[in-house]
Amino acid sequence: MRVLGIDPGLTRCGVGIVDGVPGRLGKLVGYTVVRSDPDQDIAERLLHLDTSLGELVAAYKPDSVAVERVFAQHNARTVMGTAQASGVAILAGARAGLPVQTYTPSEVKAAVTGSGTADKAQVTAMVTRLLKLDAPPKPADAADAIAIAICHIWRGGTRARIEAAARRSLR
């Protein structure tokens, strides 16, 4: 199973691609950060993010997409842009016909560190260890995206499968 994890953001959007199956992580396939200039028009920024994520999905051909959920209590000045970016991120997976799953920040932290309140350094350290990397992923923004992909693999897409089955049974 190949998962493309996305840590949504407008100025910096982390993307990490990880192969693996539940119980056995495979390898880090790639990661990047999609950036856009805060001085640019919002429409240009969202279009750039949409195009970039579309290209990454086409290039890496993941089986599913995992996106971190955005909450209103975050930094109020940037939270609207982050939420807009998360909409574009979820859409990038949906438009490619892929299952898309969202996870809360604490679900992601708990999945990779065992604690839902772990800090950024701990997440980066565990991502580095779990994927047997020689050095922590740089830039650090990408580590969160990789952690989201790991979280989805650990959970084996269970929730997505249950929900898909529930939807089928309702038809």
Binding site listing: 7, 68, 141
According to DSSP, the residues that pair with 167 across neighbouring strands are: none
Which stretch in 92-100, 109-117, 119-127, 138-146 sits in contact with a second copy by CB under 8 A?
92-100
Binding residues for Mg(2+): 7, 68, 141
The footprint of a second copy on residues 106-165 (CB under 8 A) is 163
Cβ–Cβ under 8 Å, residues 152 and 103: yes
45: enclosing H helix or E strand: helix 42-60
Residue 63: active-site member: no
Residue 55: active-site member: no
Euclidean distance between CA atoms 75 and 81, whole angstroms: 11
The least distance separating a second copy from the CB of residue 36, rounded to whole angstroms, comes to 12
Q: How many residues of this chain interact with a second copy, rule: CB under 8 A?
A: 29
CB-based contacts of 71, cutoff 8 Å, min separation 6: 79, 104, 105
Q: Which residue has the tokens 């790991």?
A: 150
What's the token pair of residue 129? 């260890």
The least distance separating a second copy from the CB of residue 144, rounded to whole angstroms, comes to 18
Kindly write out the interface string for residues 60-79 of this chain, putting x where it contacts a second copy by CB under 8 A and - elsewhere: ----------xxx---x--x
Euclidean distance between CA atoms 54 and 75, whole angstroms: 27
The residues binding a second copy (CB under 8 A) are 41-44, 46-47, 50, 70-72, 76, 79-80, 83-88, 90-91, 93-95, 99-100, 102, 163, 167
